[in-house]
Amino acid sequence: MANILLIEPNYKCKYPPLGLMKIAYYHKEKRKDNDIVWFSKGELPDVLSERIVSQIKNSKYYKRRYKDNLDNHIEEINNIIKNKNWDRVYVSTLFTFEYEETIKAIDYAKTLVGKENVYTGGILATLMPEQLEKDTGVKVNTGQLTDSKDIGYDDKVNIDILTPDYSILDNTEYSYENEDAYYAYTTRGCGMNCGFCAVKTLEPEYKSFISIKEQIKNVNELYGKKKDLLLMDNNVLKSKDFDKIIGEIIELRFEKGATYFNEKTKKVNQRFVDFNQGLDAFLMTEEKARLLGTIALKPARIAFDHIEDKKVYAKAITMAATNGTKYLSNYLLYNAESFSGKGRQYKADTPEDLYNRLKLNVDLQEKLNESNNEENEKVSIFSFPMRYIPLDDEQRGYVGSKWNKKYLRAVQSILIPTQGKGVSGKSFFEAAFGKTPEEFIQTILMPESYIVSRGDPSKIKNISKEDLEVKINTYNEFKLKRSEWERLYDSIKGETRNKFINVIGKNKFDYFAFKQLTEDNEKKLFIHYLTDPGLMNILEKIYLDNRSSDLDIIIKYIKEKFTYKYRDLVGYMVGNNKMIPKLQMFKYIFEKDGEKDLLTTWIEQKCDSNADFMSYFSQVYNVPKQFMYILKWGNSANLIKRDERGIIINNLCSDKFENNIELFESLLNRIFDYIKKHYSNDEAKKTIDQIKEETAIQLGFLI
């Protein structure tokens, strides 16, 4: 008997680790050594949580296998975890850009059993085996696990075709998006050898048909029935046995309109089939489209990776839709270089190509629904832009030759409102991406905050009147900011615009980037991309570099034309700045007007937005802290009238303390009267004594 631990690195993922599920089945059901198998998402907990214990006790598998000994099994697992009593650990791998998290998981596994008893495999392991072995020292398995000898056993079991063990999902609190589904392959491989794809390495041999009936039967018996059928085939339409595959899907009760009775909820739900890796538009025929229309397919995923394929793609979508498949989805690969694949050569894609592919889907959906006579079955085509990342990229930072970092970030910002649901309707598409490719390019050049703030809050439901008012005010403010950005953007033309795009394309808005700009309007436009700390940093560097002309341009612009930016900067200095040197620099740059603006904003923010500001301001502007303390009390008690506030601020910034004493003594007496009126006698005396102590009791010594 061996204690087996399965670990999936602690990255986010939609689908359970199918490879580990099959290894679990191998150890539990194929080996006869009564192996104990446990699964962990990331590192193990110190002890099993109440939620995990509850999941195990409600699991069909665990109740059947352990019966009255289930509590003892749970205690045994806790002891194994506590004593780190594992015999071997399997660590799965997924995408190469999760390399760091994967290394972390493998290093953790080595602390439990030593590197000689750690096994790893999966996508990353297959694509980067030498690098992974060099960095970890563990055994790296590549490709499909078709023989158990690859993990040190001599029973010659093809683990890759085993039934996935769903019970391991009860071992963790992590929730996968598609847990209630059968996972299976009806074919293996692809055979198209596209330049950007890893399948030719992961599954080099194409298998035209794999029966899944026995697997589904085993899942039902061991773990319970599942609602949906998620097929991981990489190119199912290439199969010469496609009709046989569809026939088996129908035999398994996943025909069009199929339903499923959920034993837990006691509800009847629609069943769905999902060829998750997509369908090849080049292999779609009327007969295959007809067969697809006979099963509960939702969605039909048809990739549209290259604008050159638009005619073939549109034809495939039309065939699917007119043969009964109404819910269609497609991935749009972008940020890619030139590729060879499907017997043709593709050019590197551009941002305009992405826009045109999205628009084609919107137009195609509209056209299909115009000719659709079935009122209750409208065609829906959801587009999912998917950023291309090379197979060996460890950081997810690749930028294609026709793209830049700014464009890539902007596309992700545009997609935030979809929350992974895809782009579909025309109204959303035009509002988010623009009505023309030129509008799209202008949109993705905007500051990120301008992009994500375009949604009209008046359409938000279930929101209080006060919260809605705040959102509307923010929306209107950003609308004005965008309008000013557009004015400046339109003012720069030709080579000046190209140079500006090259500068911001790096998506790095620092002093080095600023210094590359030569035109006044370029510099003003650059200010729109800066955070408040970023603006302060650049103003400081301009000041220290004695670039008085640039300083005058920026200050004049933000104080007279782009007042929102100046207001935001002052608000940041009052509410969030934690550094005296920054406040000192603000004083040098904005002089007396800046001092008054800081005090005004501090009062408007109820004098409590930043506990350190009062002390900082007192030191930098040489204003007695006692005065500010009194001002804070008077403001919090609403004892300062608007016209009086201006007088106080002017006097406080005048450096003539003899004019301030009488003013502040008067305010202090009003504060005392207020406290006596609103506090109990003991509390009033205690509070007044505290104020007197903070203000040195008498202010005369300050004259």
Tokens for 234? 């990489």
Instruction: Say whether both 146 and 212 belong to one domain.
Output: no
Residue 477: inside a domain = no
Provide the domain limits for residue 272: 180-298
Instruction: Say whether both 92 and 216 belong to one domain.
Output: no
User: Where do we find the tokens 């959102």?
Assistant: 471
**pLDDT at position 197, please?**
64
Residue 486: inside a domain = no
Phi–psi pair at 349, nearest 5 degrees:
-80, 160
Mean pLDDT by runs of 10 across the 703 residues of the chain is: 94 91 95 90 95 95 93 95 95 89 95 94 90 92 91 92 94 89 88 63 78 94 93 91 96 95 86 92 96 96 92 96 93 88 83 96 93 76 88 76 95 81 82 94 96 87 87 93 97 96 96 96 97 96 96 96 95 92 95 92 79 87 84 84 81 68 81 90 88 66 40
Residue 425: inside a domain = yes
Looking up residue 293, the CATH number of its domain turns out to be 3.30.750
The domain tally of the chain equals 4
Instruction: Say whether both 143 and 20 belong to one domain.
Output: yes
Instruction: Say whether both 417 and 549 belong to one domain.
Output: no
Q: Which residues contact 532 (CB under 8 A, 6 or more apart)?
A: 568, 569, 571, 572, 573, 576
Residue 288: inside a domain = yes
Instruction: Say whether both 204 and 149 belong to one domain.
Output: no
Residue 378: inside a domain = yes
Residue 620's SS3 state is helix
> Are 279 and 265 a contacting pair, CB within 8 Å?
no
Q: Please give the Cα distance from 687 to 167 (Å, whole number).
A: 64
> Are 191 and 235 a contacting pair, CB within 8 Å?
yes
Q: Please give the Cα distance from 139 to 142 (Å, whole number).
A: 10
Which amino acid does the sequence have at 102? T
Instruction: Say whether both 586 and 538 belong to one domain.
Output: yes
Residue 429: inside a domain = yes
Looking up residue 100, the CATH number of its domain turns out to be 3.40.50
> Are 294 and 246 a contacting pair, CB within 8 Å?
yes
Last residue of a domain, one of 298, 318, 345: 298
Instruction: Say whether both 286 and 413 belong to one domain.
Output: no
Phi–psi pair at 420, nearest 5 degrees:
80, 5
**pLDDT at position 701, please?**
42
Instruction: Say whether both 129 and 193 belong to one domain.
Output: no
Residue 487: inside a domain = no
Instruction: Say whether both 127 and 189 belong to one domain.
Output: no
Distances 247 to 218, 240, 459, 510 between C-alpha atoms, Å: 20, 13, 46, 61
Q: Please give the Cα distance from 518 to 500 (Å, whole number).
A: 10
The H helix count followed by the E strand count for the chain is: 30, 15
Last residue of a domain, one of 382, 413, 433: 433
Last residue of a domain, one of 249, 270, 298: 298
Instruction: Say whether both 9 and 151 belong to one domain.
Output: yes
Instruction: Say whether both 285 and 391 belong to one domain.
Output: no
Closest by Cα among 399, 306, 397, 410 to 96: 397
**pLDDT at position 638, please?**
85
Q: Please give the Cα distance from 383 to 329 (Å, whole number).
A: 6
Instruction: Say whether both 43 and 144 belong to one domain.
Output: yes
Residue 408: inside a domain = yes
> Are 629 and 695 a contacting pair, CB within 8 Å?
yes
> Are 433 and 440 a contacting pair, CB within 8 Å?
yes
DSSP state of 308: G
